[in-house]
Amino acid sequence: MPTKRIKCIVCNRTFFEGQGVKLVLGGKELYFHSKSCALKFVKSMVLYLDQKDLEKAVTSTLKEFEQRLQELEERSKKRIEAIH
């Protein structure tokens, strides 16, 4: 059974289903040839967002990643303490 051919919306390259990057944003499935194409799209999309919404999203995302890093540091400390 032949696989579905997809065209990247950024670079116009054709690739097979299962390859590339798929993002679901705004209720739409978006397909990209590579992570570079996906990043170009997201960078451009950010420029269209309302400034207040963007600030909230950045703040929430920063908190999420800071919390993840803090949890990783705590796990690392516990492992080091367990060794000693």
pLDDT tens figures, 12-68: 999 998 899 999 999 999 999 999 999 999 999 999 999 999 999 999 999 999 999
Domain extents for the chain?
Answer: 1-48, 50-84
In this prediction, residue 37 carries a pLDDT of: 98
In this prediction, residue 1 carries a pLDDT of: 53
Tokens 């919306």 correspond to: 9
What's this model's pTM, rounded to 2 decimal places?
0.74
- The answer to whether residues 37 and 8 touch, using CB atoms and an 8 Å cutoff, is yes
pLDDT tier, 2 (very low <50, low <70, confident <90, very high otherwise): low
What architecture is domain 1-48? Answer: Roll (2.30)
